[in-house]
Amino acid sequence: MPHDIDPRLLRAFLAVAEDLHFTRAAARLYVAQQALSRDIQRLERELGCVLFVRTTRQVSLTEDGLRLLPYARRVLGAYDELSAAWADGVRPLLVDVGAPVGTAFELLQHVRELAPGLEFVARFHSGLTGAAAEIAAGRLDVSAGRIAGLPEALRGALEHRPLRYERMAVLLPDGHPLAALEQVPLGALSGETLYAAAGNPATAEWTDLAERLFDGRGILLAAPYPEIDGAEEFVRVIRKRGWSVLASTEFIAVEGMVLRPLVDPVPLSPISLVWRKGLRHPALDAIREAADALVAERGWLKRPPGAWIPVVDRTYM
């Protein structure tokens, strides 16, 4: 018994079995009758049995032919369903945007306007490290974030394109002494403890960025805390604990807290568009084109004079 049977041979068998006439079956398949007969003979050889009784007047199925018939219909039905799934259009592109604010979300909205005929389905992960592992595993397609903060082995499974330098900020309780400032100098945070998602493995690239920024400036990183899932839970936890938070200027609004840009120097969070190596998809082409347009129109990759980014990130940006 062969391991694989060519679907073409099964189609030849099914056409003859339904018409019980080689000439009509050949016409339905748009093949010569001799070619159809050869396919039936080949199938019979592979199965080791006779499928049809042929006389000058009629064609009929043998017992083995009757036995094969329901299997052939099921197999070819599955092939037809598979073909239809791809013929009707490409699958949606799964895009991680982290949160309904920020660079990735803005890019998603833009590409949906530019390419309304393509489908982009949003996913909300809390950081690029977690999203990148899902991309490498084929469960996501695209994300955005700081690629230099990913483990080397994970970076090897991905492609990226520099997208934006997001300005970093600090989220402060209303009553904090620094909340009255329009901008907060980094030096003013010396002795402060800031939450930067330590303890959340999905956001390890952000915690690493914070550690590099705080190093030598006397700014303390809040102790590791379990992953906080969702914006509502994040707001509840940080308000209950009274934390100040390292953030970017693209951030969710939190009642009772103010967001202040950081200066002297201006620290930047380097953002790349990230996708799985080897991925081919028309929606990926569209989102890269949309990214290039936003970079050009809004100057997303321009750095203010004297701005800070980690040395390791310069290679990737």
Q: Is the pLDDT assigned to residue 89 strictly greater than 70?
A: no
* CA neighbor of 10 nearest in space, from 62, 59, 97, 77: 77
Average pLDDT over residues 35-62: 93
CATH number of 7-87: 1.10.10.10
* pTM of the predicted model as reported, rounded to 2 decimal places: 0.73
Tell me the pLDDT band of 195, cut-offs 50, 70 and 90.
Answer: very high
1: helix, strand or coil = coil
User: Do residues 168 and 260 lie in contact, with contact meaning Cβ atoms separated by under 8 Å?
Assistant: no
Instruction: Compare 3 and 13 and report the one with higher pLDDT.
Output: 13
Measured CA to CA, the distance from residue 159 to residue 148 in angstroms comes to 12
Measured CA to CA, the distance from residue 131 to residue 125 in angstroms comes to 6
pLDDT per residue as tens digits for the range 263-317: 999 999 999 999 999 998 999 999 999 999 999 999 999 999 999 999 999 999 9
Instruction: Compare 30 and 246 and report the one with higher pLDDT.
Output: 246
Tell me the pLDDT band of 4, cut-offs 50, 70 and 90.
Answer: confident
Q: Is the pLDDT assigned to residue 1 strictly greater than 60?
A: no
Instruction: Compare 299 and 2 and report the one with higher pLDDT.
Output: 299
Measured CA to CA, the distance from residue 247 to residue 194 in angstroms comes to 10
**The two structure tokens encoding residue 8:** 């073409």
CATH number of 93-316: 3.40.190.290
Measured CA to CA, the distance from residue 33 to residue 51 in angstroms comes to 17
Q: Is the pLDDT assigned to residue 177 strictly greater than 90?
A: yes
Share of the chain above pLDDT 90, in %: 75
Strand partners, 93: 120
User: Do residues 212 and 309 lie in contact, with contact meaning Cβ atoms separated by under 8 Å?
Assistant: no
What separation in angstroms does the CA of 104 have from each of 111, 194, 208?
11, 24, 20
User: Do residues 168 and 247 lie in contact, with contact meaning Cβ atoms separated by under 8 Å?
Assistant: yes
| Domain ranges for the chain | 7-87, 93-316
Write down the pLDDT at residue 81: 75
Tell me the pLDDT band of 87, cut-offs 50, 70 and 90.
Answer: low
* CA neighbor of 269 nearest in space, from 158, 164, 144: 164
Q: Is the pLDDT assigned to residue 178 strictly greater than 90?
A: yes
Mean pLDDT of the chain: 92
Tell me the pLDDT band of 163, cut-offs 50, 70 and 90.
Answer: very high
